[in-house]
Structure 1
Amino acid sequence: MENRVYREKPAGDAWIYRQIGINALIEIVKRTTKQTISDILHNQVFHPLGFSESDWYADKQEKLIEVIEPSDEEDHWKINKDTSGEKTNMYVSAKELAYWGYLHLKNGKINDKQYVPEKMIKMATSLQSPTAEDVNRPQNGFLWFVKDLPAARSEIGEKVPKGSFQILGYTGVTLLVIPNEDLVAVRMFNSFGSPEGYDYLSDVRSFGDTIMSCLEK
């Protein structure tokens, strides 16, 4: 039934990715601040840090790479007209995505200026998900996957040290922060969806493990 919210599983019994939590968070932010997600990020982060390659777009742009979706149509560009920050039509360069990771690596402080409260960064990037009987489930902060105890279904590679955190994008984009190594790593894609035979979990875990293997060398 539409417009009905219900709990699918008791807390700690399962891990399920659903957009409803993000939608609820967006609505809370809008009602309490009277601003959109885009307004807040532009005013408090993007503009102060000089970001010029990160934004939500409602129309096709010459300098933006198209997101390729499985389709028989020639034009793969399917973009939402909402630029409030609520939809998956945000574009960012590898450089600025890495800098976003660096902001979190430095707990919100760049060049002696605190752009985001340190407490907020630490809450977002530390373990917040409830303890579950199944220890192999992914572990989460707030919107970030975090590395705590070994977990078979974690999105973060086995070799990546505890205390690291990672966030994923609509097209498989991956931003990994490894505080133990003072390191930020980014990979970028522009294709949505998984081709036949593609093992998503193995692939995204291999990213972090490859980074760690490079450090060992």
Structure 2
Amino acid sequence: MSNRFKEIINWVEDIKVRNQSSASALLIMKDNKIVLENYNGFHCNSPISIPVTRTSKFNVASSRKSYLGLAVAFALYEGKIKSLDDYAIDYFDELDEGLLGKTTIRHLVTHSHGLNETDNGSVYREFEPGRGWAYRGINILMMTNLMKNLYNKSFPELLKERVLIPLGLQETSWETKENERLVKVIDNPDKEASFKLGYSSDGSESNLHVTTREFAYWGNLHLNKGNINGKQILPKEVIEIATQVQNFNNKNIDLPQNGLFWYVQDFPRINSEIGDRVPRGSYQILGITGPTILVIPKYNVVVAKMYNKRYNYGGNNYLHYLREFSNLVADAFMG
């Protein structure tokens, strides 16, 4: 193992211990080859649990947004959505026109829509579209439903047909039943972890489970703009739509920049999860349980990191830890 990766491994393991995650995994790809693969811990925090291996499937939580983002990119490329600047009301006529106002598809995929939901499911507006940035769930559900309406199938079905099967990815799935390969999720370290399953595999719930290898391969597909082993699995324009900065007219330079849900590095921003030493054009996605994909095109590098603990980085410190991790990766390949 190269000394260049020791600091990254130590960091990942330190966070695992400090935040009481029972499992961790780290995989680094360089020039389309796996150069580091490290698994540690167990599927659960109970005294009897099986070790984490390359066949363990982690719940990747909100990282599933990158899968939805690719489906939205297909819809834009194929003209099912004419433009990111189309008004949302043209696609969501079941929602209140006054509430949606001038919200566009662009606002929905870059977290700048300003919509939120109460506990009873009623929708309200936090800020005018394009005038702020907030990480909410309503836009994800809206776009998930829109994909189903546009393609007459769920976006996981669309991706399975167009991407997963052609790539031979068989360890990426929305799980509804318990099985021994699934890593449980820790909500409270003082209580036993549990399976995070959904009632459906239609992409509407956070029940996407992926092995660390296939999580990295997902990032590598994006790095190579849809071309794997000389074969163009999907049009490169689809990847470019998903991974280039799509925010528009946001004058607040502290706010993150997004592609289709991916966080994209243009220049370092105070509220971005990507570190200041990470090259321009890099992009990242993460979930609340700790899974992260970091893609650095300048270095031809993809990193997949897994944990199984909610709020893994702890309260208000999570941005600091995420920036620190991405900077460590960038440092390992710089120069």
Deviations 1:17-38 (CA, angstroms, capped at 9, x unpaired) = 1111111111111111111122
Partner Cα separation in structure 2 for residue 96 and residue 197 of structure 1: 29
Task: Summarize the Cα distance change of 1:128–1:57 in structure 2 as closer, same or farther, 3 Å threshold.
Answer: same
The residue identity in structure 1 corresponding to 2:229 is: N
Task: Summarize the Cα distance change of 1:187–1:75 in structure 2 as closer, same or farther, 3 Å threshold.
Answer: closer
Match of 1:138 in 2: 256
Match of 1:42 in 2: 160
TM-aligned CA deviation for residue 3 of structure 1: 6.2
TM-aligned CA deviation for residue 118 of structure 1: 1.4
TM-aligned CA deviation for residue 71 of structure 1: 7.1
Task: Summarize the Cα distance change of 1:30–1:191 in structure 2 as closer, same or farther, 3 Å threshold.
Answer: same
The residue identity in structure 1 corresponding to 2:174 is: W
Match of 2:147 in 1: 29
Q: Is the CA contact 1:129–1:141 (under 8 Å) kept in the aligned structure 2?
A: yes
Q: Is the CA contact 1:128–1:140 (under 8 Å) kept in the aligned structure 2?
A: yes
Partner Cα separation in structure 1 for residue 177 and residue 140 of structure 2: 24
Deviates more, 1:67-76 or 1:137-146: 67-76
Q: Is the CA contact 2:182–2:195 (under 8 Å) kept in the aligned structure 1?
A: no
Q: Is the CA contact 2:131–2:250 (under 8 Å) kept in the aligned structure 1?
A: yes
Match of 1:153 in 2: 271
Matched, 1:162 2:162: no
Match of 2:217 in 1: 99
Say what the alpha-carbon RMSD is for the aligned residues: 2.0
Partner Cα separation in structure 1 for residue 226 and residue 150 of structure 2: 22
Partner Cα separation in structure 2 for residue 4 and residue 119 of structure 1: 37
The partner residue of 2:246 within 113, 128, 137 is: 128
TM-aligned CA deviation for residue 212 of structure 1: 1.4
TM-aligned CA deviation for residue 78 of structure 1: 3.8
Task: Summarize the Cα distance change of 1:111–1:210 in structure 2 as closer, same or farther, 3 Å threshold.
Answer: same
Question: Please, which runs of 5 or more residues in structure 2 have no aligned partner?
Answer: 1-117
Give the aligned length: 217
Deviations 1:166-212 (CA, angstroms, capped at 9, x unpaired) = 11124121101111111111111111124756610001111110001
TM-score normalised according to structure 1 size: 0.91
The partner residue of 1:188 within 299, 306, 311 is: 306
| Higher RCO structure (Cα 8 Å, ≥6 apart) | 2
TM-score normalised according to structure 2 size: 0.61
TM-aligned CA deviation for residue 93 of structure 1: 1.0
The residue identity in structure 1 corresponding to 2:225 is: N
Q: Is the CA contact 1:12–1:133 (under 8 Å) kept in the aligned structure 2?
A: no
Q: Is the CA contact 2:288–2:312 (under 8 Å) kept in the aligned structure 1?
A: no
Partner Cα separation in structure 2 for residue 99 and residue 78 of structure 1: 23
The residue identity in structure 1 corresponding to 2:195 is: W
Matched, 1:112 2:233: no
The residue identity in structure 2 corresponding to 1:32 is: L
1:37-116, aligned counterparts within 5 Å? 37-70=155-188, 73-74=191-192, 76-116=194-234
Match of 2:47 in 1: none
Q: Is the CA contact 1:11–1:130 (under 8 Å) kept in the aligned structure 2?
A: no
Deviations 1:1-22 (CA, angstroms, capped at 9, x unpaired) = 7665454212332110111111
DSSP-derived class of the 2:307 partner = coil
Deviations 1:35-63 (CA, angstroms, capped at 9, x unpaired) = 11221121111111111211111121111
Percent identity of the aligned residues? 37
Q: Is the CA contact 1:70–1:193 (under 8 Å) kept in the aligned structure 2?
A: no
Partner Cα separation in structure 1 for residue 312 and residue 253 of structure 2: 26
The residue identity in structure 1 corresponding to 2:251 is: E
Q: Which has the larger radius of gyration?
A: 2
Matched, 1:16 2:134: yes
Moved over 3 A (4+): 1-7, 71-75, 194-198
Match of 2:38 in 1: none
Question: Please, which runs of 5 or more residues in structure 1 have no aligned partner?
Answer: none
